[in-house]
Amino acid sequence: MKFTLSEEHEMIRKMVRDFAKNEVEPTAAIRDEEERFDREIFNKMAELGLTGIPWPEEYGGIGSDYLAYAIAVEELSRVCASTGVTLSAHTSLACWPIFKFGTEEQKQKYLRPMAEGKKIGAYGLTEPGSGSDAGGMKTTAKDMGDHYVLNGSKIFITNGGVADIYVVFALTDPESKHKGTTAFIIESDYEGFSVGKKEKKLGIRSSPTTEIIFQDCRVPKENVLGNVGEGFKIAMMTLDGGRNGIAAQAVGIAQGALDHAVEYAKNRVQFGKPIIANQGISFKLADMATSVEAARLLTYQAAWLESAGLPYGKASAMAKLFAGDTAMKVTTEAVQVFGGYGYTKEYPVERFMRDAKITQIYEGTQEIQRLVISRML
């Protein structure tokens, strides 16, 4: 048993940390304010190989592993949670299912350009009437012989509108629900595919969240991902790994807020001494640091298990549950340490607090994580 990270992992952390500090952090507040996605940042991540961390070089990746990917999402989210989720949705939700279930042709055609960062990926599962109950979807895919025709709409799509490739789920057999669900790879310029309204959100505002609409959208047969009827399984397995990404995002948000709070507490003088000299503040920071460390270990464990080819479903649900709750708690306390200033946009902690909330909701709400965990007890 050894918890120490390898040199390769430490190198990736350092590289991403430098990149995040120099290229992501300076514009994080203004992108949040303007709800603006910056493709240029994604392109720069591509140059560094960050858009394809866990995939073999033959598919355009850098041949590292899921732990390195988790570290990258964590470091990005430490300065900008929106950038963190852009990479997480791209890697875990779009690239992963194609890597896992795609044909060699699909991998070359779709995974490679995504891993190389030439294209952005997204994932379409949720519908207005089908959130946690993913089996209740209504989008249909009708078999027309040599192609399928999709009709319906999906909501809350991360990277919606900016993505080039979408992994979406539709009913090929509406009668059999779960077993009638099939996964498809959709290109953004397919006829009948359109991007609907863009959500205004509490947080992760520089990550676009949109509706996507299928109106007699014609999809070639070779774009079925996995087998017909296998979609629900693919969707659920994809979310297991996606949870690692969100856990890593939550750890990054929490660590970023903690860093700001510690620095502020050391410099802010009240009653003639830095406020960190009060145990009311220093013990709060100690509790925050302990929770962040626990969340990080749970997250790395889940990512390590996936990298080692071991079962990780329970571990990733635990990581996401604990890290999401930690992010919310730690960012709220960070705002508290900053006092009135923390409530203003002059300091970044209010953004971290707004961003933290989503980690308790997406990729399976905390309640769904508890359901997953309790079924495995």
Partner 1 sequence: MNLLFTEEQKMVQAMVRDFAEKEIAPFVPRMEDGEFPREVLKKMGELGLMGIPIPAKYKGSELDFISYIITIHEISKVSATVGVILSVHTSVGTNPILYFGTEEQKEKYIPKLATGEYIGAFCLTESSAGSDAASLKTRAVKSGNQYILNGSKIFITNGGEADVYIVFASTNPELGKNGITAFIVEKDTPGFIIGKNEKKMGLHGSKTIEIILENVVLSEDARLGQEGEGYKIAMANLEAGRIGIAAQALGISEGAFSLAAKYAQERHQFGKPIIKNQGISFKLADMATNIEAAKLLTYRAASMKSEGKPCGKESSFAKLFSSRTAVEVTNEALQIFGGYGYTKEYPIERYFRDAKITEIYEGTSEIQKLVISKHL
Phi/psi of residue 159, nearest 5 degrees: 70, 10
Determine if 165 is a binding residue for partner 1 (CB under 8 A).
no
Shortest Å distance, C-beta 264 to partner 1: 12
Shortest Å distance, C-beta 85 to partner 1: 22
Shortest Å distance, C-beta 1 to partner 1: 5
Q: Are 163 and 122 in contact (CB under 8 A)?
A: yes
Determine if 3 is a binding residue for partner 1 (CB under 8 A).
yes
Stretch that binds partner 1, among 160-168, 183-191, 192-200, 280-288 (CB under 8 A): 280-288
Determine if 373 is a binding residue for partner 1 (CB under 8 A).
yes
Token code pair at residue 38: 């910056």
Q: Which of 16, 62, 67, 246 binds partner 1 (CB under 8 A)?
A: 67
Nearer to partner 1, 78 or 90 (CB): 78
Distance, in Å, from the CA atom of 215 to the CA atom of 156, rounded to the nearest integer, reads: 18
* Residue 117 CB-density burial (10 A; 0-12 exposed, 13-18 middle, 19+ buried): buried
Q: Are 130 and 171 in contact (CB under 8 A)?
A: no
Q: Which of 276, 327, 328, 349 binds partner 1 (CB under 8 A)?
A: 276
Nearer to partner 1, 9 or 119 (CB): 9
Distance, in Å, from the CA atom of 329 to the CA atom of 221, rounded to the nearest integer, reads: 47
Distance, in Å, from the CA atom of 263 to the CA atom of 273, rounded to the nearest integer, reads: 14
Determine if 42 is a binding residue for partner 1 (CB under 8 A).
no
The residue count for binding partner 1 (CB under 8 A) is 39
Determine if 377 is a binding residue for partner 1 (CB under 8 A).
yes
Determine if 146 is a binding residue for partner 1 (CB under 8 A).
no
Stretch that binds partner 1, among 33-41, 100-108, 147-155, 292-300 (CB under 8 A): 292-300
Give the residue from 275, 292, 217, 244 showing the smallest Cα distance to 67.
Answer: 244
Determine if 155 is a binding residue for partner 1 (CB under 8 A).
no
Shortest Å distance, C-beta 57 to partner 1: 22
C-alpha 256: how far from chain center? 17
Nearer to partner 1, 6 or 22 (CB): 6
* Residue 93 CB-density burial (10 A; 0-12 exposed, 13-18 middle, 19+ buried): buried
Nearer to partner 1, 77 or 307 (CB): 307
Determine if 239 is a binding residue for partner 1 (CB under 8 A).
no
Determine if 286 is a binding residue for partner 1 (CB under 8 A).
yes
Phi/psi of residue 189, nearest 5 degrees: -100, 15
Q: Which of 293, 341, 343, 361 binds partner 1 (CB under 8 A)?
A: 293
Q: Which residues contact 203 (CB under 8 A, 6 or more apart)?
A: 81, 351, 354, 355, 356, 357, 358
Q: Are 351 and 202 in contact (CB under 8 A)?
A: no
Nearer to partner 1, 76 or 276 (CB): 276
Given 222, 346, 363, 367, which residue is catalytic?
363
Token code pair at residue 243: 């949870």
Determine if 243 is a binding residue for partner 1 (CB under 8 A).
no
Distance, in Å, from the CA atom of 47 to the CA atom of 34, rounded to the nearest integer, reads: 26
* Residue 56 CB-density burial (10 A; 0-12 exposed, 13-18 middle, 19+ buried): middle
Q: Which of 287, 311, 345, 346 binds partner 1 (CB under 8 A)?
A: 287
Q: Mark whether 40 is an active-site residue.
A: no
Q: Which of 27, 126, 282, 336 binds partner 1 (CB under 8 A)?
A: 282
Distance, in Å, from the CA atom of 219 to the CA atom of 216, rounded to the nearest integer, reads: 9
Q: Which of 224, 318, 330, 337 binds partner 1 (CB under 8 A)?
A: 318
DSSP per residue, 208-235 = -EEEEEEEEEEEEGGGEESSTT-HHHHH
Which sequence positions are flagged as catalytic? 363
Binding site for partner 1 (CB under 8 A): 1-6, 9, 67, 262, 276, 279, 282-283, 285-287, 289-291, 293-295, 297-298, 300-301, 304-305, 315, 318, 321-322, 367, 369-371, 373-374, 377
